[in-house]
């Protein structure tokens, strides 16, 4: 077992182990990747305020997200094709999250189906849906999520059309991969991944193939999804989807205070300040830079969370200090999953929790509820440098 001390260690192993096509699929942003890069580099600009001689005993990271107790306020974000990063990846990630005590979100575009994940965990998980223009599909998939016991719905609102990722086009990204010569040459060096993948039947989009007419050929799936995204989305349609679910709703993909206010008045239980990990509007500001003004704009009834660029517990601390009640992590858990399966996701969570807890202590805080603006030092102009 390799010694893992940070998320970067997991990323190095992940890169060696997983086919280039799927590494690139995760480790990329749209167009120039400016927003993808700045999601992380903007965290690095924020500094922590070191405090001394504060009683650090009895500290902990426990908190709550939309009323659910969590070991730390860090949820696993919905990540499509997780089951291509590691065989049965969604099941492995869901189990790791459950044992650790943090929420897991299953993407509509997952490899393992809702029912399959539900059969392998004991507690409810969250389900993510896109804003598709197919009411019949929406109703049926929400019925399935309800029947599987999902306790909250994450509606992704920043994907009416797809941002372009150059690498995916160049790699001919598909699930499962098509066996072109470059893919075969790459797979020859990724045999550990290949052996595991040959041992599972879960290699297609489990929530869709077999559940939608005309999708017998999984390779036509991307065309189907692209066709179904709703370019005419509006707030009435979002509210209709919220009503169709009827339970707790998290609106994910909000990056503007005006949209955040609308989400709050629509009755969202939480919003996620997010630019989809830099995969949609390249040139948008980083989530951490937008977080404080959005948190200020949203009233008490709606929790404000963020995602994008979190690679450490220090990043989590900074987000909480700047107004987030919780965060989601995408790539940080994918690195762990691709590197070491379920144990890798657990390791990623352990690393982040340890870093969060230690950094809190050195900042003079014992509980996440005590974190605030007083814990961080932000460069002049960082928060209001753009208008």
* HSE-up (13 A, CA, CB side) for residue 216: 1
Our CB check for ligand FMN shows the closer of 155 and 360 to be 155
Q: Is 276 a catalytic residue?
A: yes
165 is in an annotated binding site: yes
Our CB check for ligand FMN shows the closer of 148 and 173 to be 173
Of the candidate spans 89-97, 222-230, 236-244, 305-313, the one that interacts with ligand FMN by CB under 6 A turns out to be 305-313
Residue whose C-beta lies closest to ligand FMN: 330
User: Beta partners for 155?
Assistant: 129, 251
Our CB check for ligand FMN shows the closer of 38 and 365 to be 38
What is the sign of the dihedral through the CA atoms of 339, 340, 346 and 350?
negative
Question: Which residue among 4, 21, 26, 152 contacts ligand FMN (CB under 6 A)?
Answer: 26
For residues 65 and 303, is the Cβ–Cβ distance under 8 A? yes
What is the x/- site pattern for ligand FMN, positions 249-288, by CB under 6 A? ---x---------------------x-xx-x---------
Q: Which of 120, 166, 211, 276 is catalytic?
A: 276
307 is in an annotated binding site: yes
In the complex, what is the shortest distance from the CB of residue 314 to ligand FMN, in angstroms, rounded to a whole number? 14
Size of the site for ligand FMN (CB under 6 A): 24
Our CB check for ligand FMN shows the closer of 250 and 365 to be 250
Our CB check for ligand FMN shows the closer of 61 and 110 to be 110
CA 289 to CA 146: how far, in whole Å?
35
For residues 290 and 260, is the Cβ–Cβ distance under 8 A? no
CA distances from 210 to 140, 205, 247, 270 (A): 13, 9, 26, 32
220 is in an annotated binding site: no
In the complex, what is the shortest distance from the CB of residue 138 to ligand FMN, in angstroms, rounded to a whole number? 15
CA distances from 52 to 186, 362, 379 (A): 51, 7, 22
Residue by residue, DSSP assigns 242-307 as HHHH-SEEEEEEE-SHHHHHHHHHTT-SEEEE--GGGTSSTTPPPHHHHHHHHHHHS-TTSEEEEE
Q: Is 78 in the site for ligand FMN (CB under 6 A)?
A: yes
Pairing state of beta strands 126-130 and 105-106? parallel
What is the x/- site pattern for ligand FMN, positions 168-207, by CB under 6 A? ----------------------------------------
Cα-based angle 152, 253, 298 (whole degrees, multiple of 5): 80
* Positions marked catalytic: 276
Q: Rule CB under 6 A: which residues touch ligand FMN?
A: 25-26, 39, 77-80, 107, 109, 128, 156, 252, 274, 276-277, 279, 307-310, 329-332
């Amino acid at each position: 077992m390799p010694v893992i001390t940070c998320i970067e260690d997991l990323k190095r192993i992940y890169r060696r182990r997983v086919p280039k096509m799927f590494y690139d699929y995760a480790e990329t942003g749209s167009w120039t990747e400016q927003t993808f890069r700045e999601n992380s580099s903007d965290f690095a600009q924020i500094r922590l305020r070191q405090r001394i001689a504060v009683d650090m005993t009895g500290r902990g990271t426990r908190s709550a997200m939309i009323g659910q107790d969590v070991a730390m306020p860090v949820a696993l974000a919905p990540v499509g094709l997780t089951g291509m990063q590691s065989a049965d990846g969604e099941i492995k990630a869901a189990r790791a999250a459950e044992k650790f005590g943090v929420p897991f979100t299953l993407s509509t575009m997952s490899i393992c189906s809702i029912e399959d994940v539900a059969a392998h965990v004991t507690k409810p998980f969250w389900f993510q849906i896109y804003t598709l223009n197919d009411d019949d599909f929406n109703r049926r998939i929400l019925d399935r999520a309800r029947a599987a016991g999902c306790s909250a719905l994450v509606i992704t609102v920043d994907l009416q059309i797809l941002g372009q990722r150059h690498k995916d086009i160049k790699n001919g990204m598909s699930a499962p991969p098509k066996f072109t010569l470059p893919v075969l040459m790459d797979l020859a060096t990724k045999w550990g991944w290949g052996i595991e993948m040959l041992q599972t039947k879960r290699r297609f989009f489990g929530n869709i193939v077999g559940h939608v007419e005309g999708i017998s050929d999984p390779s036509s799936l991307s065309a189907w999804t692209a066709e179904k995204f709703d370019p005419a989305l509006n707030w009435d349609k979002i509210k209709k989807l919220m009503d169709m679910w009827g339970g707790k709703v998290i609106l994910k993909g909000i990056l503007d205070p005006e949209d955040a206010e609308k989400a709050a008045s629509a009755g969202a239980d939480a919003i996620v300040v997010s630019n989809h990990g830099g995969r949609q509007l390249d040139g948008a500001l980083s989530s951490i830079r937008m977080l404080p003004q959005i948190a200020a704009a949203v009233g008490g009834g709606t929790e404000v969370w963020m995602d994008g660029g979190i690679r450490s517990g220090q990043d989590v601390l900074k987000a909480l200090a700047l107004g987030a009640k919780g965060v989601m992590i995408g790539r940080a858990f994918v690195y762990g999953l691709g590197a070491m399966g379920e144990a890798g996701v657990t390791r990623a969570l352990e690393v982040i929790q340890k870093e969060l807890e230690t950094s809190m202590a050195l900042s003079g805080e014992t509980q996440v509820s005590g974190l605030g603006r007083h814990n961080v030092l932000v460069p002049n102009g960082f928060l209001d440098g753009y208008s």
